[in-house]
Chains A and B, each alone.
Chain A
Amino acid sequence: MSCDILFTSVPYTVTKIAPAAPAILIGMLEYHGYTGKFYDFNVLTLEDPDVKNFALGKNPSNTEYLDKVYRYHVNKMLEYKPNYIGISLFTYQCIRTAQLLCIYIRTIAPEVKIILGGPGLSHNGLHGVNIGAEWQELQLCDYWVKSEGENPIIEILKGDYISTPKWKQITDLDEFPIPVYDSYNWSLYKKHIPITGSRGCVRQCTFCDIHTHWKKFVWRSGKSIADEMIAQSIQHGIYNFAFTDSLINGSMKAYKELCTVLAEYNNKNPQNMLTWRGQFIFRPKNQMPEDIWKLSKEAGLTQIHIGIESLDEGVRDHMRKKFSNDDIIYGVQAMEKYGIEGVFLMIVGYVTDTEETLKNQKEMFKVLSPYAGDPIVKVAIGSTLAILPGTPLADMAVDLGITLGKDENDWVGLSNQTTRLQWRKDLIEHCVNLGYNVPEHVGHDQLMTSGSVINA
């Protein structure tokens, strides 16, 4: 067993969904006559508190044990006899472990070359400090790849690549081969195959830096996505899919086409019906009429994650989300009618938030409370607002009278972090009391002590 590139993910990312990127890159390698495999270091060590503590900047209880864990996994990776190890950093929380992994690889197998990639290569958002260049200077890695890796990995293997922060966005997603999941250990994951239908976003939300990263919203044809889903389900016997897109209904034309092809397939294959979930945007009734909701269900849509962010219309308008509270009520009623679950994604402490807007949000949660549990299965109240470099908010900060702090959560404007954390606590309590399921995926204590989610 040997391969050109062994891809690995590194702790710490809480997920049980198989990562999409390695399979996409392996597909690209095979298309060009190379070989690739995947070893999921992150998921294999997800339950290990020492690995987690080290990743999150805390002291492992037993450093010699941590040493053994890393050696074990590096040796498992080396069993694939790779020429390169490609380390994928999914978020900033992967930086410490990626650095340690590089040190182990350099120590144990100095002949193996190291490639770094993924959004976690930058501190403080996509436009923050590039650690790839720093580590290359330290000779901790041989190459680093900013953004999309499909073309750079081929250039690296051809000896024709120089790491650079500049990159050209891929605009034709249909030109690439389908992802290869053959080396995935599916027993580690929920039975959902990742699928990518688009990159970028149709909105330009003020708090988000994706638009400056992926300047254009590009999407595959609905038929191409459906064809991939059908082929993967036949090959792996897995019929559930998880979209990696920022929005699955960013292009309504492609979305309708996708739903039409899948609904037809599901009608003809009732024993092997395909189901899928993804991130979604609420649209007004004239853009997303009821027949599209019905078609979505027939096509296999089971759950959507909606970036509601705020239930105060004024706040949401400032964010440029472009949907009203009436649109939310319409969407929730359609979801209930067609049996589609929804997860609300919320941000507390936006730059225009005040006690009044918090009160409005609480009132709207009350209005929606008959839908708590069905179809609103979760309300994810994440961190307080982080003002990331490269976002419209960072550019507007001076005009908005905002003083940026040392951490992206630690800014002062109409509110300060202490107030925002209190709002967050109040909103969580309010939602729980109304019967919503509110998982605390970012611990309140962690926010209180660190003052920053990004650097926590």
Chain B
Amino acid sequence: MPEATLTIEVGAYNGTPGFMIDEQTWEPNSLTPGEQQINFKYNHGATNRFQMFGKETNDTLVDKDNVIIADKFILIKKLRIDYIEILNWQFHKHIWNPYFAFNNQSQYLDIPTKDNLPLWYINLQD
């Protein structure tokens, strides 16, 4: 199975969240705060499930105006898969919101077949 590289930013408040990509799990507080890279295996033409967990209701700090001061979160900044890189803005515009803010929040990434990869890349460009 090929391996993809995900660049994430991990937000810490009362520790760091847990994260799962299919069966691969990073337990709460095992990820260090800040930007880092994690790898996961994938199959062309399959779907990968991404889930954040381990976040309680008091793991977000807000000020009197409800502006978030500190938060426990996962933000996908970049995904490198095969020969291409998908950036944060491309997730926002074409895939899904890459900011995981809620406990057990899940997203599903449909990996293209090898044959469809170039067209997938084209459709992520504008």
Binding site for B on A (CB under 8 A): 54, 58-60, 63-64, 66-67, 70, 96, 100, 102-104, 106-107, 138-140
Contacts and interface: CB of A to CB of B under 8 A. Distances in A.
Given A64-B119, A103-B117, A139-B83, 15 more contacts: A54-B125, A59-B126, A60-B122, A63-B122, A67-B118, A67-B119, A100-B121, A100-B122, A103-B83, A103-B118, A103-B121, A104-B118, A106-B83, A107-B118, A138-B85
B57 interface: no
Nearest to A58: B126
Contacts of A58: 126
Contacts of B118: 67, 70, 100, 103-104, 107
Contacts of B84: 103, 138
22 contacts: A54-B122, A58-B126, A59-B126, A60-B122, A63-B123, A67-B118, A70-B118, A96-B125, A100-B118, A100-B121, A100-B122, A104-B118, A106-B82, A106-B83, A107-B114, A107-B115, A107-B118, A138-B80, A138-B83, A138-B84, A139-B83, A140-B83
Interface string B97-121: 0000000000000000011011101
Contacts of B119: 63-64, 67
Interface in B13-61: none
B117 A107 contact: yes
Contacts of A70: 118
B122 A66 contact: yes
A271 B119 CA distance: 53
Interface residues of B, number: 15
A113 to B, nearest CB: 14
Q: What is the predominant secondary structure among interface residues of chain B facing chain A?
A: mixed
A135 to B, nearest CB: 8
A365 B44 CA distance: 63
A201 B121 CA distance: 41
Contacts of B80: 138
Interface of B: 80, 82-85, 114-115, 117-119, 121-123, 125-126
A144 B84 CA distance: 18
Contact of A67 (B82, B83, B85, B122): B122
Contacts of A64: 119
Nearest to A141: B83
Residue from the set A58, A67, A104, A139 with the largest chain B CB neighbour count within 10 Å: A67
Contacts of A139: 83
A132 B67 CA distance: 43
B121 to A, nearest CB: 6
A192 B37 CA distance: 53
Contacts of B115: 107
A360 to B, nearest CB: 44
Nearest to A70: B118
Contacts of A104: 118
Residue from the set B119, B123, B126 with the largest chain A CB neighbour count within 10 Å: B119
Task: Please name the 9 residue pairs, one residue from A and one from B, whose CB atoms are nearest each other, closest first.
Answer: A59-B126, A67-B119, A140-B83, A63-B122, A103-B118, A104-B118, A106-B83, A63-B123, A138-B83
B122 to A, nearest CB: 5
A274 B112 CA distance: 55
A102 B82 CA distance: 12
A138 B117 CA distance: 15
A302 to B, nearest CB: 43
A253 to B, nearest CB: 50
